[in-house]
Amino acid sequence: MELVKEAEQLERSGRSIMHLSIGEPDFTAPPAVVGAAQAALQQGRSRYTPAVGTLELRRAISAFYQQRFGVDVEPERIVVTAGASGALVLLLSALLDTGDELLLPDPSYPCNRHIASTLGARWRLLACGPHDRFQLTAEAVEAAWSARTRGVLIGSPSNPTGTTINAGNLAALCDRVFARGGFVLVDEIYQGLTYDHAANTALSLDPRIAVINSFSKYFGMTGWRLGWIVAPREWIGTLERLSQNLYLCAPAIAQHAALACFEPESLAVCEQQREELRLRRDYLVPALRGLGFGIPVVPDGAFYIYADIGGVAHDLADRRGGSTQFARRLLNEAGVCLVPGKDFGDFESERYVRISYATSMQHLQEAVRRTGAWLGSCGQARC
Ligand X SMILES: Cc1ncc(COP(=O)(O)O)c(C=O)c1O
Contacts with ligand X, residue ranges (CB under 6 A): 23, 83-85, 109, 155, 159, 187, 189, 214, 216, 222, 227
Q: Using CA atoms, how far apart are residues 236 and 379, in angstroms rounded to an integer?
A: 58
For ligand X, give the closer residue by CB, 221 or 313. Answer: 221
Cβ of residue 216: shortest distance to ligand X, in angstroms?
Answer: 4
CB of 83 to ligand X, least distance (A): 3
What's the CA gap between 124 and 86, in Å, rounded? 22
- Residue 121 or 185: the one with the smaller Cβ distance to ligand X is 185
Q: How far is the CB of 23 from ligand X (least distance, A)?
A: 4
Q: 100 or 188: whose CB is closer to ligand X? A: 188
Q: Alpha carbon of 278 to those of 214, 284, 303, 382: distances in Å?
A: 20, 10, 9, 32
Distance, CA of 306 to CA of 43 (rounded, Å)? 46
| Cα–Cα nearest to 174, from 165, 166, 164, 184 | 184
Q: Are 81 and 58 in contact (CB under 8 A)?
A: no
**Cβ nearer to ligand X, comparing 149 with 161:** 161
CA angle 165, 203, 135 (to 5 degrees): 15
The partner residues of 187 in beta bridges, in order of sequence, read 155, 212
Distance CA 357, CA 21 (A): 8
Closest approach of Cβ 108 to ligand X, in Å?
8
CB of 215 to ligand X, least distance (A): 7
Rounded to the nearest whole angstrom, what is the least distance from the CB of residue 251 to ligand X in the complex? Answer: 12
Distance CA 276, CA 246 (A): 38
Q: Residue 189 or residue 295: which is nearer to ligand X going by CB?
A: 189
Q: Among candidates 164, 191, 189, 146, which has minimal Cα distance to 105? A: 164
Provide, rounded to whole angstroms, the least separation between the CB of residue 227 and ligand X: 5
**Closer residue to ligand X, CB minimum distance, 29 or 84:** 84
Question: Are residues 54 and 36 in contact, defined by beta-carbon separation less than 8 angstroms?
Answer: no
C-alpha–C-alpha distance, residues 368 and 357, integer Å: 12
Q: How far apart are CA 175 and CA 310, in angstroms?
A: 37
Output 109 or 235, the one with its CB closest to ligand X.
109
* Nearer to ligand X (CB atom), residue 222 or residue 332: 222
Angle between helices 111-118 and 83-95 (to 10 degrees): 40
Query: Min. distance of Cβ 340 from ligand X in angstroms?
Result: 16
